[in-house]
Structure 1
């Protein structure tokens, strides 16, 4: 629209980053499918829409166009847009942006995993140091509470904790079969997390103070990486179920 082009030109003049986003691609697909039931081709329609947009943006130096479906965030360019926004940020802003985005696509989940993984050495160091303090009887607190808290934090960041899933399930209006699928996925995930935590507790005791601290750092890092990777993979599975259900309900 004319106002969109005017706004984009002003943003470009200011030297700020911006993106051209064309939403409601699902509506275009449905309309074209109804209008051309025998000859409809999704790839051709997407190419046509993209070419039409590029034709009207010839005056801009930056012409990055993203086509998205507001309901099926696994389709089209939704994930690419999120990834590009994160890549265009710098330093700590990347982590802040990645962790603030809801887990709507594989790209967002991978960005979160990358940001959280950078923090693992720091958490492992504190956990190992805390373990040495505990074994020296300087405190009665359990260092595994620290690790357990970090594992729970992963679940919240990826939206696969109980509270997040309850809210999303209501919004997506999951049927009994989908609820059962999500519950099975989370039951398996929770068992894996409990197993990792038990391994962490097992390795906490009976070690040589200096060498043991280094060993515990390595072990805690290993356990946290496993938990993070498993949580990210489970998030991909769970959110695929949720977005697929939401997309189907929208179409119907």
Structure 2
């Protein structure tokens, strides 16, 4: 909105001149419409509110992006049979305590890492481990990578078994990952996945490798110990060693 102060007669003449100039430049054919309001001793000249148009466009694009993100998560959840669920603070603490109790170092695979909260917690608490998060849902995977990058910039990770970044997230199929290449596997999945992984682990893993499963046991396996977390759901944590 353009405000022109001064004598009303002078403003009226100025307004006519401006209309003539704009007409010569072809502005009349544009989307904008000049408005003149004479009241209270001032003249206002304005066009369509560009800020409002930009706001509406940005709002639409944001809503579309959110819709597509939700759709992606719903599709991945339907395909996987479960929605990505972050582990609670008490559960994460019990898992890190069990890893310390193993008194080992090496590489750790988080099978179905979801939003990355458990893997990131372990990278900040468990010295000497190189952590790989495996996830096939695009949005949780992107969030995990972003959080890992932010944590790395803030130097929040402890020392890794290997030089460089102690944590990485990859897009992959948790049933096809080469688990025989890691020393420890952490799972927070669902009964159907644990049934499938039970046979995979039995075929591929070698003596000495360890498995920690949150909430659901491995069918056909005898755990070394079962820890009950002090959270609302009394979540069990199963610890296995391949014999």
Q: Same fold (TM over 0.5)?
A: no
TM-score class normalised by the smaller sequence: under 0.3
TM-score normalised by structure 2 residue count:
0.24
Q: Which has the higher contact order (CA 8 A, sep 6+)?
A: 1
Counting strand residues as a fraction of each chain, which structure ranks higher?
A: 2
